Each structure stands twice: as C-alpha cells, then as structure tokens.
C-alpha cells in the first residue's frame, strides 16, 4: 500500500509521467486512458465453447446450462464507453487495457484472483468505464468467460453503457424477487455475462453484506474465469469496502487532474486490510509510438 501512496505523491507533484497508473504489484504498472469508440463488433449466436480444456472455468457444463437459461438481450453499446471493441487496430486505450489484463493474469499465477472490485474515491472518476472495458478485454481472449456485475446499487451505470434493461437485476435477486437465470444477461457470443444493479432499494449495504450474496459469488466463481464488480465510490458510502471484503482484489480508479492525493489516500485507508492491487489513472493523455505504429490517446468519458 505504501508504494501506491508514494507513487501518487510523485504524480501529484509532477514527478511521474502524465499517464500514470500506480502499481499492481512490485513494479507491475497498469495504465488506462479513454478514447472515443465507433462501431461495435458483430457477434454470432453460439453457445460457449472450450478448446483443449484451456478455460479457467471449473464447471464448464454448469456455464453451458446457465447460457441456455439466462436472458440473451444483446448489447447496444454506448460507443463512448466501449473502447476495446471499437474496431480500431492498435487503439491506445485498448492496448492499455490489454496491459492491465496481462498484469492481472501475472498476479493470478502467484495467488488466487478471480473476483475483482473496481472502485474509486469519489464519483465521476471512471470506474464503470474501467470495469466494462476490462471485462471486454478479458472476454476477447479465447475460452475466457466473464461475469460483469453492477454492484453500485445507488447510482448504477453499466446497463446504460451496455444498452440493456436495468431490471430485474441484483437487488431483485438478493430480495428473493427473481432467480439467477432471470437476472443474468449475456451477449450473443456467450462469453460476457452481465447482472445489472436492479431496482433502487433503501438498504443496499445490507443486501451486499448478506449471506445470500456471498453464497451467490461462491457459485459464480466456478462458472466464470473472472467476476468483475463495479462498486460505488469508497468515500461517500460503505458499499465498496463491503464488496472488497468478499472479493480477491480491488482496483482504485483515479481521475487525472481532478482527484486530490488526499482523497485517494483517505480511500486507501478505508480499504485498509483489503487486497488493493493498485490504482489506474483515468482521463490521461499520452503521445506514444510502438515500432511503426504511432497513436494519440483521448480523454475518458465516465461522468458517473
């Protein structure tokens, strides 16, 4: 945790590059920046398939059964949120999410890492943007299946980003008003699955801390390579800390040129004892070149 604090201090005083992203672990850094998306890739309808047993899913038969039962609404992405599938080769933001994905897999090689919380210190830092595009980056790999959960029951964003119904969702399931298959939606390829936040409730923290939610996560871990949860900001409410205590790791999103070092430091203190993997600086700009391919990164758009 101290390395993250020190890196944030240096960035705040201009001692780090403008495009900064903290540490995942021992010198492994991750970078996320935003750009505008264009058209969404066309996907064909098919059941999940596994080649040569290469998937990290332990219950692949159960995943196929879930695919048959869950809702197949189809994605209608907001193009300003979908940068990984925007069809631009070597797009800078997509490349950075690829780096983040690689860093997470490296960590997974050393210790368990299947459930991941994405949060921020304050609203409007880009956590939903990062959670969505990280899920897309992972599911683009062969034989990788991701469950994306909108765990921000107070100000949900992801259903709008994906262009899918917001209800029924997680609150309906945790209140016993809907079963698993009715709240889980999937794309037409069956590799990205999604649970929306659901209807507004008066007791979100209590629902997220319930034994039913813990049991649900335990079942889903056997079905998916990764479970990525978009959590509320840390400072306004306790929900992110509750979710972090139930998951294997936490990533904190920081908005470049906006979030103060003090706010991030306080958020990290709130997450003391949780497994904070690192921070991501969002809405940063960078001019860079790799070989013959040069590009310029734009700005993030998560206004949540």
pLDDT reported for residue 167: 97
State the SS3 of 142-173.
Answer: CCCCEEEEECCCCCCCHHHHHCCCCCCCHHHH
Q: Is 208 in a helix, a strand, or coil?
A: helix
Give the span between the Cα atoms of 194 and 149, in whole angstroms.
6
| pTM of the entire predicted model | 0.81
Structure tokens at 273: 């004892």
Homologous superfamily (CATH) of 2-37+56-296 is P-loop containing nucleotide triphosphate hydrolases (3.40.50.300)
Give the span between the Cα atoms of 36 and 79, in whole angstroms.
7
Per-domain residue ranges of the chain: 2-37+56-296
Sheet with 249-255, side-by-side order of all strands? 184-186, 192-195, 146-150, 226-230, 115-120, 249-255, 276-282
Please, what's the b/e burial string for 159-190 (b: 16 or more CB within 10 A of its CB; e: otherwise)?
A: bebbebebbbbbbbbbbeebeeeebbbbbebb
- Could you tell me if 100 and 32 are in contact, meaning their C-beta atoms sit under 8 angstroms apart? yes
Give the span between the Cα atoms of 157 and 221, in whole angstroms.
23
Give 271's DSSP letter: T
Structure tokens at 92: 């800078």
Average pLDDT per run of 10 along the chain, which is 304 residues long? 57 40 37 32 46 66 92 87 69 84 91 95 95 93 93 97 96 97 87 96 97 96 96 97 97 91 93 93 59 34 44
pLDDT reported for residue 298: 35
């Amino acid at each position: 945790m101290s390395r993250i604090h020190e890196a944030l201090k240096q960035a705040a005083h201009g001692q780090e590059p403008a495009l900064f992203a903290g540490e995942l672990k021992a010198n492994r850094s991750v970078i996320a920046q935003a750009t505008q998306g264009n058209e969404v890739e066309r996907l064909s309808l098919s059941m999940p398939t596994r080649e040569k047993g290469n998937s990290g899913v332990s219950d692949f038969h159960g995943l196929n059964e879930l695919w048959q039962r869950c809702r197949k609404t189809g994605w209608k992405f907001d193009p300003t949120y979908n940068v990984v599938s925007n069809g631009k080769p070597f797009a800078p933001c997509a490349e950075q999410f690829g780096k983040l994905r690689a860093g997470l897999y490296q960590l997974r090689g050393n210790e368990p890492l299947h459930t991941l919380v994405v949060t921020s210190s304050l609203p409007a830092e880009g956590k939903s943007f990062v959670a969505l595009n990280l899920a897309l980056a992972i599911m683009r790999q062969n034989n990788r299946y991701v469950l994306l959960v909108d765990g921000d029951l107070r100000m949900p964003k992801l259903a709008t980003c994906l262009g899918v119904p917001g209800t029924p969702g997680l609150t309906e399931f945790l209140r016993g008003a809907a079963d698993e298959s009715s709240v889980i939606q999937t794309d037409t390829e069956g590799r990205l699955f999604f649970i929306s936040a659901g209807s507004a409730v008066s007791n979100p923290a209590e629902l997220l801390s319930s034994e039913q939610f813990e049991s649900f996560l335990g079942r889903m871990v056997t079905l998916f390579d990764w479970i990525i949860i978009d959590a509320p900001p840390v400072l306004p409410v306790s929900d992110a800390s509750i979710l972090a205590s139930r998951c294997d790791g936490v990533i904190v999103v920081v908005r470049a040129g906006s979030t103060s070092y003090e706010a991030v430091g306080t958020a990290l203190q709130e997450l003391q004892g949780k497994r904070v993997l690192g921070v991501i600086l969002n809405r940063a700009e960078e001019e860079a070149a790799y070989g013959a391919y040069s590009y310029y990164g734009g700005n993030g758009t998560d206004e949540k």
